[in-house]
Structure 1
Amino acid sequence: MGTPAPGFCRDCATSVGPNRSRCPACGSPRLLRHPELPELSIAHIDCDAFYASVEKRDRPELRDKPLIIGGGERGVVSTCCYIARTRGVRSAMPMGQARKLCPDAVVLPPDMAKYREASRAIRTFLDALTPLVEPLSLDEAFLDLSGTARLHHRTPAETLVRLAIAIEREVGVTISVGLSYNKFLAKVASDLRKPRGFAIIGRAEAPGFLAEQSVTLIWGVGKALAEKLSRDGISRIGQLQNMEESDLMRRYGAMGQRLYRFSRGEDRRVVEPEGAPKSVSVEHTFNSDHSDPEILAATLWTLAEDLARRLRHKDLAGQTVTLKLKTTDFQSRTRAEKLDSPTRLAQILYRTAHHLLLREATGPAFRLIGIGVSDLHPAEAADPPDLVDTERDRARRTEAALDQLRDKFGTKVIGKGRAHKAPR
């Protein structure tokens, strides 16, 4: 072991010498040290049990009690505090099951206005540090602090220590921070020591750290792909590190490239500020109102094809599909469904939106129909192999071939039969 590196106190931001085990100013043992500390600038911050933390901030009598934020008996858990988590309660768990696991829990309905206000307060702190903030939700975001040392007169690591202290003091919630040299590893790091965590993954340690982890740590490896990898004898990232990129791409398509790069700690994605696209959508306004499910479905198919083609041209994929309808009296209806994995295939977009359409096309006429996707991902994450949906590979090849024809001869050169009923 080498000599410990100097660092900072995470409770008061005081500089700490290499041989100290506690902060000389406040006595805290929560010290931050790492040999690559001055060189790392990509961060992921994640609020700890955000909704529950805001409620406990406003109701101190709940501080030491298990707290669940969620609906009634037939609802699900939105989030829960860490006391409830020690009893086995988890987000998205049915409320009935959560109550059985933690019968003494206090249950509160979500107060989204309050949570958005806290999120805006946190965002103010982030924007003061760097213009490169990529929010992922109300309670988490990526930051690129490259080049900010000259502005703030401190390293990104020290800036983040001070950020965590300020948010806890001024907003009343705690955050966990992950710091690394790319987004993938920063996100991994922020999950390592929650709550009130600050974890660092440097370049030197990344391959060794990743080698011992499950392949499910890689963003985009869902249940279906994990099962396929397991069938191929691959369960640990270290096994991927010993494989060639061409072999992985031959086996797993575009996702194989992600497996190759991420397993080696490589991630070329940059932190995208809020101006980056958050959704892609298309819509069609009828010349006359329609209530016929077949006409609506046919139009939806042509829109799904258009949307899929736009996603492929933008090198994007979407994981949440939204159906939009507008009635004759201009009332809008939107219905959404989240997929297991991102897609840019018209067949999957249509199938998902058509399922939503069947619930709505029960009588009223519509003057507009649209389809869109949000929760955008890079193209490499699109349509991983699926053991259940065996037609996915065929659809991918078919739609790629159609793209080539349409690019050469025009968008109307060829189409599927289900589009023939669509109004012109």
Structure 2
Amino acid sequence: MAERLILHIDMDCFFAAVEQRDNPELRGKPVIVGGLSSRGVVSTASYEARKYGVHSAMPMALAKRKCPQGIFLTGNYPQYKAVSAQIFEIMSRFSPLVEPLSIDEGFLDITGMERFIKGNPRNYGMKLKQAVLKETGLIASVGIAPNKFLAKLASDLEKPDGLVIIRQEDIQRILWPLPIARIWGVGKKTEERLAAFGYRYIGDIARAGKDVLQKQVGERLARHLVELANGKDDRPVEPVRDAQSIGKETTFEENLQSRQEVEQHLLYLSAQVGWRLRRSGKNAHTVQIKIRLGDFSTYTRQKTLSDAICYDEDIFKEAKALFRAFSLPYGSGIRLLGVSCSGFDAPSEISLFEMENKQKKERLYTAIDKIKARFGEDKIAHLGESRVLKKINASLDGSEARH
């Protein structure tokens, strides 16, 4: 059986690079793409901007303080999506197994492709980089390794324009000296927790062993950490992945303070999620809300239903109930709200008793969906939060009162 060979390609500063490619006057200048409001965050920063300490996910207000001379753009997302499709088409020529990881990165399984690789995976990776550069004018970094974790890590080691191979025999030399934050799934809180036990580098985790770690952080996390610290990752490259959830979230210019404000936005989010469910032909058993407070602490609450749903009013009913059951810390404003649905199911048979009510809903939502299909999913919400949706909200409150 051939040893697995996985390639990870990651576009360098993708959004900013597209802007610099399409606008020559931006080349060599600090370009920062993201939300430009006071509550926005950085999506991508060019390497010229990174010299000033600007990075993705940084609050835009902080980025402006660090790099006041930067060129700040909201971004051209339809263009980024079009370029992304072009890049993934190129990738598909280099392997029949391509897994998109995000708009600007993906995995290729090149196991068993010796005839094409000709025994030299480095040259194969270089040919992919050259094809992307020639056809899009953009630079990519590539990592090649026996598994997805190591390949993704390798692509990040020599950015920009990197090409790194990690073999099994390289793990101690390359992987172990890296900080534990480079392990997939180790965020800031986990990093701090591990540091409290004296673990600072990946090699510290590998040498500690699972038994010791298990007593400190629990069996599941210990197993995950030890396997990755020793360069083990059995996840396959999956070319097609159905969405596991459909959702929508929004960050507010100013923190929400009142229940009325929150529920108004939950209604708006529920309408968008319902539209996306129906457009995808899906029904969902689970409704989840996401709440991020002003101090960035984040909470999720969810409920699983016996009957699958796809209508705005049903989603909103559950989202509102989840919020009302949430104990909001005193004096806390809400920075972000999200609503999502999962646990998809095919449409089920219903009783004759339910049929009449369902037909009324179908007529209502068919009309709503036609408006959205013609004018965009935000159209109804823009009509004063929508007379239609307000009627749904009023009828829902009325039915709750009757019960």
Instruction: Give the alignment's TM-score, normalised by structure 2.
Output: 0.62
Same amino acid, percent of matched pairs: 35
Pairwise CA distance, 1:97 = 2.1
| 8 A Cα contact 2:107 2:237, kept in partner | yes
d(CA) in 2 for partners of 1:332 and 1:111?
22
Deviations 1:214-269 (A, max 9, x none): 22211111222222212222222222222332333343221111111111111111
Compared CA separation, residues 348 and 93, structure 1 to 2 (3 A): closer
Deviations 1:349-401 (A, max 9, x none): 429x99x9349989xxxxxx973389xxxxxxxxxxxxxxxxxxxxxxxxxxx
Question: SS at 1:242's partner residue?
Answer: helix
Equivalent residue runs for 1:382-401 within 5 Å: none
Equivalent residue runs for 1:140-289 within 5 Å: 140-151=105-116, 153=118, 155-251=120-216, 252-274=218-240, 276-280=241-245
| 8 A Cα contact 2:290 2:301, kept in partner | no
Question: SS at 1:205's partner residue?
Answer: helix
Structure 2 match to 1:357? 319
Question: SS at 2:169's partner residue?
Answer: coil
| 8 A Cα contact 2:97 2:239, kept in partner | yes
Question: SS at 2:106's partner residue?
Answer: strand
Compared CA separation, residues 335 and 50, structure 1 to 2 (3 A): farther
| 8 A Cα contact 2:179 2:200, kept in partner | yes
| 8 A Cα contact 1:40 1:202, kept in partner | no
Asked if 1:46 corresponds to 2:16, the answer is no
Equivalent residue runs for 1:19-168 within 5 Å: 41-74=5-38, 75-151=40-116, 153=118, 155-168=120-133
| 8 A Cα contact 1:40 1:156, kept in partner | no
Pairwise CA distance, 1:141 = 0.4
> Could you list the runs of 5+ residues in structure 2 that have no partner in the other structure?
248-258, 278-286, 293-298, 304-314, 325-338, 345-399
| 8 A Cα contact 2:291 2:300, kept in partner | no
d(CA) in 1 for partners of 2:246 and 2:96?
27
Pairwise CA distance, 1:281 = 7.2
d(CA) in 2 for partners of 1:148 and 1:262?
26
Pairwise CA distance, 1:278 = 3.4
d(CA) in 1 for partners of 2:237 and 2:178?
25
Return the letter of the residue paired with 1:269.
R
d(CA) in 2 for partners of 1:218 and 1:168?
29
Compared CA separation, residues 132 and 324, structure 1 to 2 (3 A): farther
| 8 A Cα contact 2:6 2:147, kept in partner | yes
Compared CA separation, residues 158 and 268, structure 1 to 2 (3 A): same
| 8 A Cα contact 1:281 1:373, kept in partner | no
d(CA) in 2 for partners of 1:250 and 1:179?
34
Q: Which moved further from structure 2: 232-241 or 149-158?
A: 149-158
Return the letter of the residue paired with 2:199.
I
d(CA) in 2 for partners of 1:61 and 1:128?
33
Structure 1 match to 2:270? 325
C-alpha RMSD over aligned residues? 3.8
d(CA) in 2 for partners of 1:373 and 1:78?
30
Deviations 1:55-75 (A, max 9, x none): 111111211211111232412
Structure 2 match to 1:372? 342
Q: Which moved further from structure 2: 330-339 or 233-242?
A: 330-339
d(CA) in 1 for partners of 2:224 and 2:96?
28
Compared CA separation, residues 335 and 264, structure 1 to 2 (3 A): closer
Question: SS at 2:342's partner residue?
Answer: strand
Deviations 1:297-321 (A, max 9, x none): 9xxxxxxxxxxxxxxxxxxxxxxxx
Return the letter of the residue paired with 2:28.
D
| More helix as a share of residues | 2
Compared CA separation, residues 51 and 332, structure 1 to 2 (3 A): closer
| 8 A Cα contact 1:43 1:144, kept in partner | yes
| 8 A Cα contact 1:207 1:265, kept in partner | no
Return the letter of the residue paired with 2:19.
E
Q: Which moved further from structure 2: 85-94 or 96-105?
A: 96-105
Compared CA separation, residues 61 and 266, structure 1 to 2 (3 A): same
Return the letter of the residue paired with 1:41.
L
Pairwise CA distance, 1:325 = 3.2
Return the letter of the residue paired with 1:198.
L
> Could you list the runs of 5+ residues in structure 1 that have no partner in the other structure?
1-37, 283-292, 298-322, 340-346, 363-368, 375-420
Compared CA separation, residues 72 and 222, structure 1 to 2 (3 A): closer
Large movers: runs of 4+ above 6 Å: 332-336, 359-362
Count of residue pairs brought into register by the alignment: 284
Compared CA separation, residues 103 and 332, structure 1 to 2 (3 A): same
Question: SS at 1:168's partner residue?
Answer: helix
Q: Which moved further from structure 2: 243-252 or 224-233?
A: 243-252
| 8 A Cα contact 2:6 2:111, kept in partner | yes
Pairwise CA distance, 1:92 = 2.0
